[in-house]
Chains A and B, each alone.
Chain A
Amino acid sequence: MKEKLEQIFADGQARIENALSASALADVKAYLLGKQGAITEALKEIPKLDASLRAEIGRAANDLKNKFTELIDAKREEISLKAAEIPSDFDLTIPGAPPVSGALHPITQMCYDLNDTFRSMGFEIFEESDITSELYAFDNLNFPPDHPARESMDTYWIAGHEHGRGGERLCLRPHLTGASVRYMQTRKPPYRFVYPGRAYRNEATDARHERAFFQYEALIVDRDFTFSSGKVMIKSILSKIFGRDVPVRMRIGFFPFVEPGFEIDMGCLVCGGAGCSVCKHVGWIEIMPGGTPHPNVLRAAGLDPDEYTGFYVNIGLDRLTMMRCEIDDVRLFRGGDLRFLRQFC
């Protein structure tokens, strides 16, 4: 009898071991422990045994039952874990599921980068409407009455309002600078603000020229401010935008609304200043005009130019974005082509 039990154990152990699925294991369990199972059958034999052996065999049979139960439970656990296991041939190279894929226009991105940078230096943001008047586009900015920009076809004048003078003569703004006077007229100095926006010029378009472009101006006005500080300001901003130290130079330039006026160049980032086709072999790229507000502009804003001074910069965002993203045709910005715009997600 003892031998028989041992044989049942060995056989049962093998059966449990060989069961590969939950259902096979259930069959094994029924075979071993069920109502007609091996153990039950074995227990039926006990009454036939010699009384002295009954207790011992009975205990052994019970032990066997418990052992099988344990083994089966362990096996069940093993099978269920195995079932939840990740197949080893899972492909790790399948592409990730993309998140919602909208994007801001690359110029908007640049504009917001600048906004954030200027905000961190305490600048307010101001917006002026796109249609302005000769009064703000020219008169207030010290453009002489006979300045070519006023008469020429460079400016988009509004039909029916193109023949008036000053505040009655309307145009799509040819630059943003007029907005600075609007801001100053409605607030108290000192000032520290930026005013991004679209500007328009009536000219033929090509890879480098646009009729509608995006500008970004900043103005500081205070009692003491020298152009040397203006240079510091420009350098900090460009270095933030491009993520590295950017050499800046200010050279003399002429614009009616500033005195002194400067052309501001940044070191060519393509060649590092050594000279290349991008910078026309001079190592510098002209990126913005700037300078001290002309006394007549401050007067137009209601300030005393003997008391106040300041610094303007006027950044061409199209150009700056082209440089940052290595875009070679300015017309792509207003083409609305998603094959272009989706590259800036």
Chain B
Amino acid sequence: MKISLNWIKDYITLPQDITLSKLAYDLTMSTVEVEEIHDLSLQFEDMAVGVVREVLPHPDADKLVVCTVDVGDRDGGGTDACDAGEAILRQIVCGGINVAEGMKVAVARPGSKVRWHGEGDLVELKKVKVRGVESYGMICSSSEIGLFDLFPYTDEATIMDISEFEANAGTPLAKALGLDDIILEIDNKSLTNRPDLWGHYGIAREISAIYGLELKEISPYDARAKTDLIPKSNREAFQITIADPELCPRYIGIRIEGISINPAPFHIQSRIWRVGMRPINAIVDITNYVMLATGQPTHAFDADIVSGNINIRRAKDKEDLLLLDKTKLSLTPDDLVIADEKEAIALAGVMGGEKDSILQSTKNVILEVANFNALSVRRTSMRFDVRTGAATRFEKGIDPERADIALSVAMDMFSAFFPNMEVTGYHDNYPNKLQQKEIFVSHSWLEKRLGMKMSRDYITRLLERLGFEVSFDLNVPDCANAAAADPGGDLMRVLTPTWRSTGDVGIPDDIVEEVARIHGLENFEPAPIVTAFSRAINQPEIEIDRKIREYLAFRCGMNEIYSYPWVADEYISAVFGSEALISGADMLKMSSPPAPNERFLRSSLLPGLCKAVSDNLRFIGEFAIFESAQVFFDRDYSSVYDKRESLPLQRRHVAGAFVAERDKYGDVFRRAKGAIEAMSRNIHIEPIILRQCDSSAKPFWADDTIWQTITTSDPASNPTNNAVKDGGDLAADNANISGGSAIGMLGLLSQKAAQGCGIKNAAVLLFELDIDALSPLLSRTNTFSHIPEYPMTEYDVSLLFDSSVKWEDIHNTACANRSSHMGKSAPQGSGQGSNLRGVSFVEEYKGKQIPDGKKSVTIRLLIGSPKKTLTSEEIESQAGATVKRLCKALGGELRA
């Protein structure tokens, strides 16, 4: 909203010491956000009133004339025409068809900025020759200096004639035209809760409160004095009926005869133009002016077109209404209309109708100053997408009392513009008078909330500036109850002004805000935050998500991504099959999605991840990414917070992708598997294990061979986390014990799914896991093992196996007589006598030198004794025994 500082000055006198920037700052701090301060006169810099002394034909151009113009320059150097010096006349070439000797014109001097023919960018004028004749700037047309709305013309070659303005040659143009104004641009969003501020008077009231200035009163329209003059018969003939007082709390209609459709006086046109509206004619300009001044929208009908009395009613179903802007509406009973005896003539509070609008021929008008229900206006305005200044104001909740001052401002203008007019009808139908809000506030409570002491007098003064009525020492009869409850006299009674009583202010906390903001928010001392310590913060279930993310990023070298919770159909279909799209597969849908193909909310992070993989593959060949976010399921509705609530199942998931060239599927598998396997140790959760169960568990997207289910291990059969105890690669032991429930999947994206995601020639190894299914350990559980007293030897050996032999079997066979504990307890069971301490994988090799159908596996044996240093014969003997067992059990042979 634009606010004119000159207009504000109608209502208050600003002290000299308040600079513009301070005013804007203080308004921003206490009331509304001033986004910009705009000095209008800058637009007219180096432009002045010129008086044309002589007009001669241009020697070389038919359509141009050469003018001699007094622009106030005097040889004393001044530019003031009153200066004693001799006038320096300027020669200006002009194309205006209306230019004449003696005419006052707008001269743009060299250095000023104009818009050629009213189009394009601003151009700086220079002293130039026009067809051989020197020209000192230009004589402007209104569109060249942005004033077309105030000085309209029909022929483009018309220059601005400002002869009617009382100004001497040389007067700066902005001053001469009264355009030397400051415009404050206010952020409308900061006004939404303040219906009282949608006009200049409201803003002036705030400024007066902030600085303690006097606010000029606008006295209400004295209806009695005026209506007594109306003949009784007319009075009775002019009736407003309100069919639905709920939607129309007040309607004042006033019939005015004997007006004519002329332009409004220039200073009125100029005012509404300065704050962004286009002048139309005196009647329309009055209605706009009143709204901009008081925030109260008004409307004028052509009284001769209205048939019979006015009725404010709900529209009939499918009732037609042609609006002023020629929009044709088919109304509903939820829309409120102004109707005459025949039909609807205006959409209440939104826009007038075409039929009864003000035309050039209008002689008599009915002026409407009314109040409409905020919600009803907003719904109607939204329903038909008709946004107007009136609707914007009504939907904030204007108080019906404001109609009085609005009518007063309007009638002052009518009588000033049309001295011969006559009021021939007046009816103020106000069925439900607005009740001012009464609030009781404890003084001590107020001080506590403010964090400072404040005297009764001071509080009263601050609030009274805003129009509140404040009383202490409550013993008046109507406050008896309040006084009884407050024997100490701590309570104060605050009566809210009508313009703040439509929902804006109503509880003691609102009074805290009013006092605080007028006292000045920066006048409160910073107060320290006091705390009492009761316990340390311990939130493992919250921390686990962070631990996982940090583990994946910092230990596993993955990049975290964010994606949207809605997923494009093509990725859902690629990852989960087109069946999923059709059945919905437990997925929730949005009622108005961002795009038609993004209806579904994710129940898995994988489709989004695949999209990111596909996008990144255009630039990068090898990478690893992950995302941690919530997923949603259309089932298991419940709420632990409120029994009235029913929320769908929502789980925290984490998913990742390791991406490399297609033939590196083995590598990405091992990286992903390693990341999952080592996760439990790194983030302190109960162990999780990977295994391939029956093929029905294979997810749609996974390759037929490379996929595994991630499950929780059964804690009962897995005491004290010994899987990782002695540093060996023994986690695979757990594959033998029965696992817990599935909490995720790991697998290679199948060729087909990859194709559906637009991924070519890449190995994409995906995993996804349910964070909420992980159980964080309460503390670290990895306890200390003694460092071996005698040396341990790593002994590498390569063996040739059938390529169908699994590592797990090799490992288990090799470990069959492993001694599982070092130092702490004596070797036991099958471990007796064995010096094998661990077996780990080094590499697997196929290719040159290896026969088809075979593979070479290099394993590392950890050999040592807790009792002594082994001799090389003893080491060789242990290794030989293990190799022999592997060869015998699995058909391996030692490679040379």
Q: Which chain A residues have a beta carbon within 8 Å of chain B's beta carbons?
A: 100-105, 107-108, 112, 115, 119, 121-127, 129-133, 135-136, 144, 146, 148, 152-153, 156-160, 162, 166-168, 170, 172, 182, 185-186, 190, 192, 198, 200, 202, 211-212, 220, 224-229, 231-233, 235, 249-254, 259-263, 280, 282, 292, 294-295, 305-306, 309, 333-339, 341-342
Contacts and interface: CB of A to CB of B under 8 A. Distances in A.
Nearest to A118: B537
16 contacts: A102-B557, A103-B560, A121-B531, A131-B632, A133-B646, A146-B374, A158-B590, A158-B648, A159-B591, A212-B565, A226-B450, A229-B529, A232-B526, A252-B29, A254-B192, A295-B507
A159 B533 contact: no
Given A100-B555, A232-B529, A160 B592 contact: no
A122 B644 contact: no
Contact of A129 (B31, B450, B527, B650): B650
Contact of A133 (B521, B524, B647): B647
Interface residues of B, number: 92
Given A102-B624, A229-B527, A259-B513, 12 more contacts: A102-B558, A130-B650, A146-B374, A146-B378, A159-B588, A159-B599, A160-B591, A202-B594, A226-B451, A229-B528, A260-B509, A306-B445
Interface in B574-608: 588-594, 599, 601, 608
B378 to A, nearest CB: 7
B513 A336 contact: no
Contacts of B645: 133, 135-136, 166-168
Interface in B522-551: 522, 524-533, 537, 539, 542, 546, 549-550
Contacts of A103: 553, 559-560
A319 to B, nearest CB: 15
A259 B509 contact: yes
A124 B537 contact: yes
A96 B782 CA distance: 34
B784 interface: no
A231 B559 contact: no
A62 to B, nearest CB: 41
B599 A336 contact: no
B28 A338 contact: no
Given A232-B529, A252-B31, A338 B620 contact: yes
B256 to A, nearest CB: 36
Given A102-B553, A112-B546, A156 B524 contact: no
Contacts of B550: 104
Nearest to B448: A224
Contacts of A144: 503
Contacts of B834: none
A58 to B, nearest CB: 46
Contact of B590 (A156, A166, A190): A156
Interface string B16-40: 0000000000001111010110000
Nearest to A153: B592
Nearest to B612: A336
A104 B553 contact: yes
B190 interface: yes
Contacts of A337: 615-616
B562 A251 contact: no
B527 A167 contact: no
A103 B625 CA distance: 9
B379 to A, nearest CB: 8
A124 B370 CA distance: 53
A228 B527 contact: yes
Contacts, number: 231
A104 B560 contact: yes
Nearest to B510: A259
A144 B395 CA distance: 14
B521 A250 contact: yes
B589 A158 contact: yes
A179 to B, nearest CB: 10
A333 B562 contact: yes
Contacts of B33: 251, 263
A321 to B, nearest CB: 11
Interface in B499-525: 503, 507, 509-510, 512-513, 516-517, 521-522, 524-525
A226 B555 contact: no
Closest 10 pairs (CB-CB, A-B): A167-B645, A226-B451, A260-B513, A336-B612, A100-B557, A167-B644, A102-B553, A254-B193, A159-B589, A336-B561
B852 interface: no
Nearest to A101: B557
B563 interface: yes
Given A192-B531, A224-B448, A182 B193 contact: no
A220 B529 contact: yes
A309 B612 contact: no
B546 to A, nearest CB: 7
A252 B559 contact: no
Given A135-B642, A148-B378, A338 B529 contact: no
B684 to A, nearest CB: 18
B590 A226 contact: no
A259 B29 contact: no
B647 A102 contact: no
A271 B530 CA distance: 34
A301 to B, nearest CB: 11
Contacts of B623: 338
Nearest to A197: B630
Contacts of B625: 336, 338
B30 A252 contact: yes
Contact of A228 (B31, B451, B650): B451
B591 A130 contact: no
B521 A136 contact: no
| Most chain A CB inside 10 Å of its own CB: which residue of B192, B533, B608, B630 | B630
